[in-house]
Amino acid sequence: MTPPESREKILIRTSWISTIGNSILSIAKIVIGLVAGSLAVLGDGIDSATDVIISIVMIFTAKIINKPPSRKYAYGYEKAESIATKILSLVIFYAGAQMLISSIQRIFSTEPRELPGMLALYVTVFSIVGKWGLAWYQIKQGKKINSSMLIANAKNMQNDVIISISVLLGLFFTFILHLPILDAITGLVISGFIIKTSISIFMESNIELMDGVKDETIYEKIFEAVERVPGAHNPHRVRSRQIGSMYMIALDIEVDGEITLNEAHEIADAVECSIKEYVENVYDIVVHVEPEGKCHAIEKFGIDKKMIE
């Protein structure tokens, strides 16, 4: 598990690199778009400007998530990352919707279009290479520290690469084939893909906010871990949730009602150690011990073994 200090440093460093890289690309595309007279390149530059805003949000979020727990937030501030991820999904959706509207308007527009300058082609190729490099770096760092925010932003940059490729294709059609309408049709298809990606990111961020887990096999691992511990029986009311990149796990087990409190405590400790061997990135485990054979009331929350068999 990556230490919190290292995780914060990686988040901040990666966000700053994203901010600087996107600022350079955005300024270049906006300036060239204006000079060359290309609305497609200008729009691509404005889209990159939103990435600068996203990166700044990420820097502030990285500072927030490692704040120590408070009386109001006893579990800390890790979930701020999920909130930021949801904000990113909305920004991506907005960019896709704007591109969708622009593409439809361009398809049905009767106004003649002038051929843009060749500089538009060069800056678009530069944008594709730069965005691909930034997306690759963010995915690498996001997987390293298990950051949904970095991975979501990397997906957004991958969409930007696709946008730039569609701009390049549109310019190609304009210069070579003299069919500018294909530029708008390509933009229409790409905008649908971007909107789909934003919805996917939005739905995925709901899992952590609703105290769920992305990897449902964690419950099989927990039951298997408990079965390895002598004296631990009938694991039930198992609950697992994610806070940032870490798991919080709570469960009930049964032990022989005739053993001492110290012996029951040792079994509970052994269950904790066994679960940590099976499940990575566990922050805390709470094991509630009950006498074996006790009649259980129907619980509203939690998973038992029958539910996964």
Confidence band for 232, pLDDT divided at 50, 70 and 90: very high
88-126 per-position pLDDT tens digit: 888 878 877 887 887 788 778 776 655 566 777 788 888
38-53: average pLDDT: 73
60-66: average pLDDT: 79
Q: Note whether 182 and 276 are same-domain residues.
A: no
Q: Note whether 153 and 120 are same-domain residues.
A: yes
CATH number (domain holding residue 71)? 1.20.1510.10
Q: Note whether 42 and 179 are same-domain residues.
A: yes
Confidence band for 190, pLDDT divided at 50, 70 and 90: confident
Confidence band for 221, pLDDT divided at 50, 70 and 90: very high
Q: Note whether 292 and 162 are same-domain residues.
A: no
260-305 per-position pLDDT tens digit: 999 999 999 999 999 999 898 888 999 999 998 776 666 778 888 7
Q: Note whether 20 and 169 are same-domain residues.
A: yes
Confidence band for 196, pLDDT divided at 50, 70 and 90: confident
Domain boundary among 155, 184, 209: 209
**pLDDT of the residue at 116:** 63
Residue with the bigger pLDDT between 264 and 52: it is: 264
176-189: average pLDDT: 71
Residue with the bigger pLDDT between 165 and 148: it is: 165
**pLDDT of the residue at 180:** 67
Q: Note whether 91 and 202 are same-domain residues.
A: yes
Q: Note whether 46 and 194 are same-domain residues.
A: yes
Q: Note whether 186 and 229 are same-domain residues.
A: no
CATH number (domain holding residue 255)? 3.30.70.1350
205-228: average pLDDT: 88
**pLDDT of the residue at 296:** 66
The DSSP secondary structure of the chain, one letter per residue, reads ---HHHHHHHHHHHHHHHHHHHHHHHHHHHHHHHHHT-HHHHHHHHHHHHHHHHHHHHHHHHHHHTSPP-SS-TT-STTHHHHHHHHHHHHHHHHHHHHHHHHHHHHH--S--PPPPTHHHHHHHHHHHHHHHHHHHHHHHHHHHT-HHHHHHHHHHHHHHHHHHHHHHHHHIIIII--THHHHHHHHHHHHHHHHHHHHHHHHHHHHHTT--S-TTHHHHHHHHHHTSTT-EEEEEEEEEEETTEEEEEEEEEE-TTS-HHHHHHHHHHHHHHHHHHSSSEEEEEEEEEETTPPPPPPSS-B-GGGT-
**pLDDT of the residue at 249:** 94
Q: Note whether 154 and 248 are same-domain residues.
A: no
The domain total for the chain is: 2
Domain boundary among 209, 232, 252: 209
Q: Note whether 237 and 168 are same-domain residues.
A: no
Q: Does 37 score more than 80 pLDDT?
A: no
Domain boundary among 147, 176, 209: 209
Q: Note whether 58 and 101 are same-domain residues.
A: yes
**Considering only 40-44, 61-65, 150-154, 222-226, which range has the smallest mean pLDDT?**
40-44
Residue-range definition of the domain harbouring residue 198: 4-209
Percent of the chain residues past pLDDT 90, beyond the cut: 18
